[in-house]
Structure 1
Amino acid sequence: MAQTQIVGRRRWVIGFLLGAGILINYFDRVNISVAAPQLQQEFGLTPADLGLLFSAFFWSYAILQIPIGIVLDRFGVMTVSRIGAFLWGVASGIVAFATGFGFIFGARVLLGVAEAPAFPANSKATGYWFPRGERATATAIFDAAAKFSNVIGVPLVAVAVVTFGWRWGFGLTAILSFAYFVAYWLIYRDPSADTKLTREERDYIRKGGATPEGESEASPIGMLGYLLRNRKVWGLTIGFAAYGYSFYLFLTWLPGYLVSEMHMSIIKSAGYAAIPWLFATISDLVVGGWLIDHLLAKGYDDTKTRKTVLVGGMILGLAVFGATMTASPVWAIFWITIALSGLAAAAPVGWSIPSLIAPRGGTGTIGGVMNFFNNLMGAVAPVVTGFVVGATNSFSLAFLVAGVVLLIGIFSFVVVLGKIEPIPEPDALATAPAPA
């Protein structure tokens, strides 16, 4: 604490700014689910129409992950994130004034485009702003916001929809998005351009192993090709995609599981579903963030510490198997809470790794590749779960599939990723003398 007081707190202002952005990001994503019944009634939408509206966001969001990573590495965090934050508000505003299915569908596609930079940009920004010894906590702040949004976002939007109508559900998130755009415009700068960052704090960040600012000398396409040939990138990508499968399964199917499998009412299921997400938020911040940085400050090995939490969290995710062996909703939530809490502890470690292993100018590209495959799981997991549940009339096999996917991810993190250390610069590798 004394060190923090000496060097300043500007980096933590940036960290909480990034976390607020992700929180609003997820408000934008859940508003359509809350407003769906009123939308269906007003515009005469079929269940198939609603399915298209729910998925429209993920199409553009996932497809753009790799391109947006290249764009981030070319044009920088500040410019790309400013444009993105402004477009969040535009997308929600369009829906607030929509007159039919086409307007809503187009706006959701636009929202996917606008929010595509969010996680890769935050990963890149925390690399600039935080030394390695604080990277876990800084990453946990914005990653935990995604979990916490499930605790407060749905009730907040629901109050607006029930009280003022569905248009205000989108109007509220549009207002919040524009407010964040203004805050981001006024506050965020890269460390080298931030006039409020003291020289002492800048030196502390740099000497602590912050990611160097600047572009790579390699071309964007050259950098992408170079990274796609790297084993560490694929170890991280496959492992994080396995995490994403379970995350999106719970995000989309947990309420339905409690209603159909545990025979709860919708209201009761909403209360029960909030419990795992609340514990996941705490685990994300305390274990995936604070504990790692605390252990590193005590002198523990960087790679061993991060990978222990990363792999340990994924192993706890296997507690989903426990939910397949009970008919009690209390025990089901118990096992799911353990699983989600473990996965939540692993998530910020995963998001901190791009800035820890990337060569100069490659953090956004690695983050984009990682998040592309992660978000493919946002499409795959709900569909696979739906087919399995439809064929078996039970979630047991669906949870078993999630467990098997986690085992693949654990293998990838342990064996394929290797040591968490920077990948050599492309030009340095190319100019290195050939072995005898």
Structure 2
Amino acid sequence: MKKHRWSIAFLIAVGVIVNYFDRTNMSIAMPLLKKEFNLTAGQMGIFLSAFAWSYAFLQIPVGPLLDKIGVKWVTRTGTMIWTAACLLTAVANGWGLIILSRVLLGVGEAPFFPAAAKATSHWFPKNERGKAIASYDAQSKFSNAIGAPLIALIVTEWGWRGGFYATAVLSLIYAAVFWVWYREPHEDKRLTKEEYNYIREGGSQSAEAPTGTVMDNIRYLLTKRKVWAVFIGFAAYGYSWFLFLTWLPGYLATEMGMSILKSGWYSAIPWIVGTISEIVIGGWLVDRLVNKGYDSTRVRKTTLIISMLFGLSIIGAAFTHNPNIAVFWISLALGGLVVTSAVAYSIPTFIAPKGTVGTLTGILTFGNNSMAIVAPIVTGYIVQATGSFMYAFLVAAALLVLGIISYTFLLTDLEQIEPAAQKGSEYVSNELMVE
């Protein structure tokens, strides 16, 4: 049996790297933008969050759109839009146009992670989904590990516009590759019959469209306690994640007095730790324990809780002015937190009713990515008011505690949710908030 399915995972993984190059370039370029446009810390937070204004709010409609139209065409369109957005940023001649281009980037990249989760549910049996999702989600950390110093070098040599020109070219190449390579399993002629049967018999979801209206399906999913458990936990993780993603280079440059190039190299360390921990723990170890017969819910729930507890190491960074110690605590926190990302992204592929993986993933990624709006702005104004990142890190820690409580007490099981019983045009839930 050939393993063509892993070429799909690799294709998605490369897309994640390109995605995060497009996002990281703003945080690396921010010191130069601050100087050119005379920005305050609060205004810098607005610049850093602009991408998420569209990205977060489009997660809700993107999920049902994927369920109706499919991964292939939605992602093809998205890649072309985000390529145009990178180019527009590079040629922008004012801060208003830069913000507009970042909003457009959010429009283009919004479908990618819900599409990746839906593609995984089609292309992989249940016993391989942990490794598959970790293999591409870990690249969101790896891309920062290689992207931060690489883009810092480009920005140092050719200015902040050079960074956006570089990512625009990279995005265009990826758009062409995705257009040529990605197909659904039932239409991919490179997939052997043996591998197709292996995928189907292993519990992959079909590419069929869901029954019922979009709002019916969303309302029904929101009656499920385990949906809220993951929504709250994923949002709590998202706050710390987006704080690091948008402010880590700026934190090292301003509070630790580093140059742009040096802050890029130091920023790479936590992302390398995160990449390794997500692949080894969130992917390989979780799947191995489940395949050895341990209870799936217990393994994934325990992993979520322990990893979030490691995330509280961010408190250590709040009370030091030594860059080496700060990077140590941030690496420990990020190394734990990213494991929860792989597990959380896999949950919709297990619990979503047939045909609604995209819808449920969209709901969860909305909660997660709404923090991309909140975290940069809140952090910016905290730093502007106090002159320090200490309270910004403590706010992140408090939200992680909320996430730990949610996973501990609300996540009941990971069994597939039964489709709602249809009654006329309405959908009736047999299990309401208390399952």
Contact 2:58 2:110 in 1 (8 A): yes
Q: CA deviation at 1:80?
A: 0.3
Select between 70-79 and 49-58 the one with higher mean Cα deviation. Answer: 49-58
2:155 and 2:251 map into 1 onto residues whose CA distance is 25
Kept in 2, the 8 Å contact 1:123–1:352? The answer is yes
1:45 aligns with 2:11: no
Matched, 1:285 2:279: yes
Q: Is the 8 A contact 1:218 1:427 kept in 2?
A: no
Q: Name whichever of 271-280 and 349-358 sits farther off.
A: 271-280
Q: Relative to 1, partners in 2 of residues 1:203 and 1:335: Cα closer, same or farther, differing over 3 Å?
A: same
2:294 corresponds to 1:300: yes
Partner of 2:324: 330
- Cα deviation, 1:329-387, whole Å, max 9, x if unaligned, reads 33332222111100011110011111111001211111111111111211222333334
Which residue of structure 2 lines up, in the alignment, with residue 32 of structure 1?
Answer: 26
Question: Residue 342 of structure 2 aligns with which residue?
Answer: 348
2:100 matches 1:129: no
**Is this contact kept in 2: 1:218–1:426, CA < 8 A?**
no
Label 1:19 to 1:362 Cα distance change in 2 as closer, same or farther (>3 A): same
Quote the residue 1:168 is aligned against: 162
Aligned to 1:94: 88
Partner of 1:85: 79
Measure the CA separation in 1 of the matches of 2:21 and 2:174: 12
Q: Is the 8 A contact 2:28 2:250 kept in 1?
A: no
The offset of 1:244, in angstroms, is 0.6
What is the deviation of 1:312? 1.4
For 2:70, the equivalent position in structure 1 comes to 76
- Does residue 423 (structure 1) correspond to residue 417 (structure 2)? The answer is yes
Contact 1:126/1:138, CA 8 A, preserved across alignment = yes
Task: Give the residue type in structure 1 aligned to 2:39.
Answer: P
Q: 2:161, 2:259 → 1: CA distance?
A: 26
Does structure 1 conserve the Cα–Cα contact (< 8 Å) formed by 2:27 and 2:249? no
Q: Which residue type is aligned with residue 92 of structure 1? A: C
- Residues 348/166 of structure 1: CA separation in 2 closer, same or farther (3 Å cut): same
Give the match for residue 202 of structure 1: 196
Unpaired runs of at least 5, structure 2: none
Structure 2 match to 1:3: none
Cα deviation for residue 271 of structure 1 reads 2.8
Of stretches 275-284 and 384-393 in structure 1, the one that deviates more from structure 2 is 384-393
Q: Which amino acid aligns with 2:349?
A: S
d(CA) in 2 for partners of 1:224, 1:85: 26
What is the letter of the counterpart of residue 45 of structure 1?
Answer: F
Normalised to the residue count of structure 2, the TM-score between the two structures is: 0.90
Provide closer, same or farther for how the CA distance between residues 157 and 405 of structure 1 changes in structure 2, counting only shifts above 3 A. Answer: same
Provide the rounded CA distance (Å) in 2 between the counterparts of 1:169 and 1:299: 48
Q: Is the 8 A contact 1:317 1:340 kept in 2?
A: yes
- Is 1:373 the counterpart of 2:367? The answer is yes
Please give the alpha-carbon distance, in whole angstroms, between the structure 2 residues aligned to 1:89 and 1:271: 26
Q: Deviations over 1:32-87 (max 9, x none)?
A: 3444566667xx53316765543321111111111111211111111100100111
Taking the aligned partners of 1:215 and 1:416, their CA distance within structure 2 comes to 29
Closer/same/farther in 2, CA of residues 428 and 141 from structure 1, 3 Å limit = farther
- Kindly tell me: are residues 103 and 290 of structure 1, through their superposed partners in 2, closer, same or farther at Cα, counting changes over 3 Å? same
- Which residue among 141, 152, 156 is the counterpart of 2:135? 141
What's the counterpart of residue 223 of structure 1? 217
Which runs of structure 2 are paired with 1:361-400 in the superposition (5 Å)? 361-400=355-394
What secondary structure is seen at the aligned counterpart in 1 of 2:312?
helix
- The reply to whether residue 120 of structure 1 matches residue 114 of structure 2 is yes
Asked if structure 2 preserves the Cα contact closer than 8 Å seen for 1:217 and 1:427, the reply is: no
Contact 2:85 2:101 (C-alpha < 8 Å) held by counterparts: yes
* Cα distance between partner residues in 2 of 1:50 and 1:208: 48
Which SS does the other structure have where 1:197 is aligned?
A: coil
Equivalent pair of 1:353/1:420 in contact (CA under 8 Å): yes
Structure 1 unmatched runs, 5+: 1-6
How high is the sequence identity, in percent, across the aligned residues? 50
The answer on whether the counterparts of 2:45 and 2:378 sit within 8 Å (CA) in structure 1 is no
Q: Relative contact order (C-alpha < 8 Å, sep 6+): which is higher?
A: 2
CA distance 1:295–1:72, shift in 2 (3 Å): same
How much does 1:313 deviate?
0.8
- Aligned partner of 2:148 in structure 1 is 154
Match for 1:8 among 2, 11, 26? Answer: 2
CA distance in 1 between counterparts of 2:244 and 2:321 reads 18
Instruction: Classify 1:242/1:108 alpha carbon distance in 2 versus 1 (closer, same or farther; 3 Å).
Output: same
Which AA in structure 2 matches 1:180? Answer: Y
The AA in structure 2 aligned to 1:156 is L
- Read off the aligned partner of 1:30 and give its amino acid letter: T
| Counterpart residue identity of residue 211, structure 1 | Q
Query: 102-111 vs 228-237, which deviates more?
Result: 102-111
Q: Letter of the 2:184 partner, please give it.
A: D
- 2: CA distance, partners of 1:98 / 1:385: 26
- The answer (yes or no) to whether the contact 1:246–1:381 under 8 Å persists in 2 is yes
Separation in 2, partners of 1:141, 1:397: 34
Paired residue for 2:15, among 16, 21, 45? 21
Q: 1:195 to 1:220 in 2, by over 3 A?
A: same
State the alpha-carbon separation in 1 of the partners of residues 102 and 317 from structure 2. 34
Deviation at 1:315, TM superposition (A): 1.2
Offset at residue 144 of structure 1 (A): 1.0
**Letter of the structure 1 residue corresponding to residue 144 of structure 2:** N
Kept in 1: contact 2:61–2:362 (CA 8 A)? yes
CA-CA distance at 1:327 after TM superposition: 4.6
Structure 1 CA distance, aligned partners of 2:63 and 2:430?
31
Shift of 1:162: 3.9
Query: Aligned in 2, Cα 1:175/1:406: closer, same or farther, shift over 3 Å?
Result: same
Check the 8 A contact 2:274/2:336 in 1, yes or no: yes
